[in-house]
Amino acid sequence: MKSLKEKISESVFLLIALSALSALALITVFIFIEGVPIIAKVGVVNFVFGMKWAPSQGAFGIFPMIIGSVSVTLGAAVLGVPVALCCSIFLAEFAPATLSNLVRPAIQLLAGIPSVVYGFWGLVFIVPAIRNYLGGPGLSILAGSVILAIMILPTVISISEVSLLALPRLYKEGAFALGATHWQTIRSVLMPAAKSGIVAAIILGIGRAIGETMAVIMVLGNAVALPQSILDPARTLTTNIGIEMGYASGEHQEALFATGIVLLIIIMILNAIAQYAARRR
């Protein structure tokens, strides 16, 4: 028999536990309430595929920013994921204990550095380097990709390392017993076995890259035009909100919330894929 006190404490805990769900619901509802009217007015197709963003003239097309977000994120994945995977293999398989005890906190530190600091560092190092060696204004998709590649490292490294370490020892011993070298074991046994976790890691990394704002604002140049090459400046969905939210009002502000809706939907889809991938074993 549960005492009354026990019952009360259990329901209080349940109420607290529902805070995450209520927060998620509130966020979704409020962003949608603010953003949906303008999408309804402009039309979904015109909003998502519209080429012109000129709030003062009532033109709200975010297609160039979708392209901006996608290309910066792809660039970050291309540059960052191979390094991150190598680093997670290093930590899980090659690093001596003393070294991995040094590298792991370093990666954790990398995750803690404020995104504005990354952006600023990119502005003083990466942007001039691109301008001098590759041409263009320097403020570019490439600069954004480099900074985001660094910023997604901790996410991708730690999750894929965990999934490599979670594999049964038997896999490795079996491969060794068959005469495979350590690298052959990693490539043909461990990596395929940890695939679902690694996929989840990459997708969560991509989610981080698409959602990053402040670092990207500082190195991307923020032009609203459709970028023609990776050396062109661009604007992402996040930076569109970050730059204009400070002074927007009325329909303009609603359009920024609508940009947030698009961002939220992309992130939710990525999260769902990552959670699905992580569960599949």
Partner 1 sequence: MRVSARSTQMIAKIVIWSAALLVIVLLLAIMIYILLKGVPTLNWQFLSEIPRDMGRSGGILSTVVGTLLVTAVAIVVATPLGVGTAFYLTEYTREGRVTRIIRFSAESLAGIPSIVYGLFGFIFFVIYLKLGWSILSGGLTLAVMILPTIIRTSEEAIRTVPSLYREVSFSLGGTKWQTITRAVIPSALPGIAIGIILGIGRCVAETAAVILTAGSALRMPISLFSPARTMAVHFYILAREGISMERAYGTAAILIILILLVNVVANMLVNRFVARGR
Q: Is 207 in the site for partner 1 (CB under 8 A)?
A: yes
Residues in contact with partner 1, counted by CB under 8 A, come to a total of 84
Residue closer to partner 1 (CB basis): 230 or 270: 270
Please identify which residue in 38, 139, 150, 255 interacts with partner 1, judged by CB under 8 A: 150
Q: Which of residues 164-183 bind partner 1 (CB under 8 A)?
A: 180-183
Q: Which stretch binds partner 1 (CB under 8 A): 38-46, 164-172, 189-197, 256-264?
A: 256-264
Q: How far is the CB of 106 from partner 1 (least distance, A)?
A: 5
**Distance (Å, whole) CA 47 – CA 251:** 13
Record the tokens describing residue 34, joined without a space.
């603010």
Q: Is 123 in the site for partner 1 (CB under 8 A)?
A: yes
Task: Assess contact for 263 and 210: CB atoms under 8 A.
Answer: yes
Q: Is 281 in the site for partner 1 (CB under 8 A)?
A: no
Q: Which stretch binds partner 1 (CB under 8 A): 42-50, 51-59, 110-118, 160-168?
A: 110-118
Q: Is 4 in the site for partner 1 (CB under 8 A)?
A: no
**Distance (Å, whole) CA 199 – CA 273:** 9
Q: Which of residues 50-69 bind partner 1 (CB under 8 A)?
A: none
Please identify which residue in 144, 211, 221, 227 interacts with partner 1, judged by CB under 8 A: 211
Q: Is 188 in the site for partner 1 (CB under 8 A)?
A: no
Please identify which residue in 141, 199, 212, 277 interacts with partner 1, judged by CB under 8 A: 212
Q: How far is the CB of 94 from partner 1 (least distance, A)?
A: 6
Q: Is 94 in the site for partner 1 (CB under 8 A)?
A: yes
Per-residue contact flags (x/-) with partner 1 for residues 231 to 250, judged by CB under 8 A: -------x--xx--xx----
Per-residue contact flags (x/-) with partner 1 for residues 7 to 46, judged by CB under 8 A: --xx-xxx-xxxxxx-xx-xx--xx--x------------
Residue closer to partner 1 (CB basis): 103 or 223: 103
DSSP letter string over the chain? ---HHHHHHHHHHHHHHTHHHHHHHHHHHHHHHHHHHHHHHH-HHHHHH---EEGGGTEE--HHHHHHHHHHHHHHHHHHHHHHHHHHHIIIIIS-HHHHHHHHHHHHHHHHS-HHHHHHHIIIIIHHHHHHHT-S-S-SHHHHHHHHHHHHHHHHHHHHHHHHHTS-HHHHHHHHHTT--HHHHIIIIIHHHTHHHHHHHHHHHHHHHHH--HHHHHHSB---SPP-STTS-B--HHHHHHHHTTT--HHHHHHHHHHHHHHHHHHHHHHHHHHHHHH--
